[in-house]
Amino acid sequence: MAVIRIKNLLIPTIIGFNPEERINLQDVIINVEIEVDISRAVTSDHEEVIYNYKTITKAIIAFVSESKYNLLEKLTHEVLQLIMKDDRVIRAKVEIDKPRALRFSDSVSVELEAKR
């Protein structure tokens, strides 16, 4: 098994329920941990047998940049579900930070995990 980590993916999106948050894009920072079986990849070294982290990263970027959620919890859940659609994923963890969401704090984050 291997753990693939995508770190500090910065994506502008609509997130929040305050009126200005429904209009203005805000950055979210996404960290993802994906556990997959890599036994075929380490023995063959061919692209067609890998779990392609570039593909899932592009899917996350497209999904989040087009989303318009009120709650960080819901956005985090939906990104996790997107990752878990691939049957090769054994476990995934998603943490999404919303910078400057609170005064005197760098960010607020929600983390969710799913396993098969």
Domain of residue 99, CATH code: 3.30.1130.10
Nearest to 25 by CA among 81, 108, 114, 99: 99
**Residues 41-83: tens digit of each pLDDT:** 777 777 777 888 999 999 999 999 999 999 999 999 999 999 9
Task: Read off the pTM.
Answer: 0.92
Cα→Cα distances 20→10, 14, 61, 102, 107, Å = 20, 10, 22, 15, 18
Per DSSP, 52 falls in state -
The range of the structural domain enclosing residue 90 comes to 2-115
**Residues 3-45: tens digit of each pLDDT:** 999 999 999 999 999 999 999 999 999 999 999 988 777 777 7
Q: Could you tell me the two tokens for 28?
A: 């979210």
For residue 69, which amino acid is it? Y
Q: Which residues 6+ apart lie within 8 Å of 31 measured at CB?
A: 5, 6, 7, 8, 9, 94, 95, 96, 97
pLDDT at 1 (0 to 100): 87
Residue 74: φ, ψ to 5°: -70, -45
- Count structural domains, the chain: 1
